[in-house]
Structure 1
Amino acid sequence: MQPHDPYAYAIDDAVAVALLADVQVRKAIARGDFDDLPGSGEPIDLPDHHDPEWWIRSLVQRERIALLPPSIQLRKDDAALDERLDRLADEKAVRREIDDFNERVIRARYELPAGPPLITMPRDPDATVAAWVESRAGGAAKAREAAPGDRRTRRRRFFRRR
């Protein structure tokens, strides 16, 4: 019988990493690193039937991820787009947001429909930017109307009350 030659076998990278990981885990067990882990000795909560996608379902439930068909997600994005545009500061950012939305709508039109039909249309960038500018001007005018007098008047009133 010939002695065992460890160099007689070809070991690829994946096997080498697995062997190194196994050695490290065995050393950690021998040191007692896994002795006081939380939940050790408690039963694992498993469902009654085997579900091969249990981990993805638990991830969706835990993280509250909503997986909607593209047509419905685009409807929701279209409804929230104006509010999102109102928070942007300059016209360049507004155009970028509109272009991104239009690109997603056009991409969804070329894909096979998954779910309800896609009725969302791309937005006209110039008309949307004009509406954004008008809403910003209207918001500034409303803020000026709502401001009661100038700053000195308010300060005098404060001191008069004392």
Structure 2
Amino acid sequence: MSEDPSDEESPQRLNSLEDRNAVVESALDRAIKRGDFDDLPGLGKPLTGLHGSSDPDWWIKQKMDSEGINGVAPAAFQLRKENAVLEDTVDAFTEESDVRDYLAGFNARVREAVMDLREGPPVFTPPRDVENEVAAWRRRRNAKKNDSVTEAEPGDQPVDPESVGSPRRWWHRFRR
């Protein structure tokens, strides 16, 4: 046999539906014999969402739920959802400047959504007062620090109140 590509057979043209089905079936049979379909996730489980849904977009909604995709709803819904978890989001920050930046961005998104009358439902989410929210963040943070200090057992070493609540950075270890 020669290595010349012109000697190889050209690909078959599949002119009829039966020819195409035969090629697909043989490819599936070979894959099954190789074990390509063994141990697939969801093996033996029913397919969800196929029956009983009159919504034509059921599949994209199911995919968005399974992937945790959000952010494609109208601004009113996004802001309402963000407003509901705002305290938890703000409590995750360790610096006051980060809290102020986040609140400024939130308020800007609220104002922008209120001014944009082109689409979506009306926005009822109010902007947050930055000073009041920062003060509440400080109170929650101090309460969390005090709770963690009082939970220490009597035989424990004294705890530095500044180090409670935030992890110690690796470069601070070398300073002492």
Structure 1: which 4+ aligned runs deviate by more than 3 Å?
56-64, 113-116
* Residue matched to 1:107: 112
One-letter amino acid matched to 2:136: A
Q: Alignment partner for residue 77 of structure 1, among 74, 82, 87?
A: 82
Q: Alignment partner for residue 65 of structure 1, among 62, 66, 69?
A: 69
**Structure 2 residue 103 is matched with structure 1 residue 98:** yes
* Residue matched to 2:136: 131
Q: Distance in 2 between matches of 1:95 and 1:117?
A: 26
TM-score where L is the length of structure 2: 0.50
The structure where helix makes up a greater share of residues is 1
Over 3 Å counting, the alpha-carbon distance change for 1:97 and 1:139 in structure 2 is same
Q: For structure 2, which runs of at least 5 residues remain unmatched after alignment?
A: 1-10, 12-25, 29-56, 158-176
Please state whether the residue corresponding to 1:121 is helix, strand or coil.
coil
One-letter amino acid matched to 1:65: I
Deviation at 1:63, TM superposition (A): 4.0
1:99–1:125: 8 Å Cα contact kept in structure 2? yes
TM-score where L is the length of structure 1: 0.54
Deviation at 1:61, TM superposition (A): 7.0
Whose RCO is larger (CA < 8 A, sep 6+)?
A: 1
Q: How many residues align?
A: 108
One-letter amino acid matched to 1:85: V
Q: Percent identity?
A: 33
Q: Distance in 2 between matches of 1:145 and 1:57?
A: 47
Please state whether the residue corresponding to 2:93 is helix, strand or coil.
coil
Over 3 Å counting, the alpha-carbon distance change for 1:111 and 1:89 in structure 2 is same
1:3-55, Cα deviation, whole Å (9 max, x unpaired): xxxxxxxxxxxxxxxxxxxxxxxxxxx9xxxxxxxxx956xxxxxxxxxx9xx
Please state whether the residue corresponding to 1:151 is helix, strand or coil.
coil
Q: Distance in 1 between matches of 2:66 and 2:85?
A: 25
2:79–2:110: 8 Å Cα contact kept in structure 1? yes
1:52-97, Cα deviation, whole Å (9 max, x unpaired): x9xx889757745343221111011011111011110110000000
2:114–2:122: 8 Å Cα contact kept in structure 1? no
Q: For structure 1, which runs of at least 5 residues remain unmatched after alignment?
A: 1-29, 31-39, 43-52, 153-162
Deviation at 1:146, TM superposition (A): 1.2
